[in-house]
Amino acid sequence: MKSRIVSVLGACALVACLAWTADAQQSSSAPQNTTTTQTTSQTTPPAKNPNATPVINKRQQNQKDRIKQGIKSGELTKREARKLRKEEKEIRKEKRAAKADGTVTKQERKEIRKDQRKASRDIAKQKHDKQKRPRAKKP
């Protein structure tokens, strides 16, 4: 029995050795200018952070830029800009509260996105109303 186990283990080692040498020969015969890619099954993907909110962050930055542009172009009055910034601040507070427990749940993300959609509509409405910010008079 002992000799049979040794012979089976020897055969397995031989097969593994042959497979390794065949791989080594293939890689040495391959042209040097080609790159090899790893399959995704060999590497594990990075773990998702349940607290990450990249889509929300990107939208926040976009809305901040839209408000800034509206002020610069005169499409938003000081009062409108103040109100829109306050709305964005409330969304940031909501996001911070959602992250406080370590996980942003699906329901919390849904609520934040809903508030961001409303803020986006408010920005568009205020930028395209008939009110214009008065320009400073030149001396």
- Given a contact cutoff of 8 angstroms between Cβ atoms, the answer to whether 98 and 104 are in contact is yes
Q: 């009055």: which residue's tokens?
A: 77
**pLDDT band, residue 16 (cuts 50/70/90):** low
Give residue 33's pLDDT.
52
Domain range holding 120? 79-129
Tell me, yes or no, whether 68 lies in a domain. no
In angstroms, the CA 40 to CA 23 distance is: 19
pLDDT of residue 21: 54
- Around 29, how many Cα atoms within 13 Å sit in the side-chain half-sphere? 6
Task: Give the span between the Cα atoms of 13 and 19, in whole angstroms.
Answer: 10
Classify residue 13: in a domain, yes or no.
no
What is the per-residue pLDDT for 51?
Answer: 82
Tokens of 11: 């055969």
64 within 8 A of 120, measured Cβ to Cβ: no
d(CA 67, CA 75): 9
What was the pLDDT predicted at 134?
74
Tens digit of pLDDT for each residue in 53-104?
A: 899 999 999 999 999 999 999 999 999 999 999 999 999 999 999 999 999 9
Handedness of CA 100, 102, 104, 106 (dihedral sign): negative
Residue 98 lies in a domain: yes
Place of tokens 């930055």: 61
**In a domain? residue 86:** yes
Model confidence over 106-128: pLDDT tens digits? 999 999 999 999 999 999 999 99
Closest CA to 88 of 71, 106, 105, 67: 67
Residue 128, classed as helix, strand or coil, is: coil
What is the predicted pLDDT for the residue at 126?
95
Q: Quote the number of domains for the chain.
A: 1
Q: Does the pLDDT value for residue 38 go beyond 60?
A: no
Whether residue 36 is contained in a domain is answered as no
Residue 40 maps to a domain? no
pLDDT value at residue 65: 97
- The reply to whether 60 falls in a domain is no
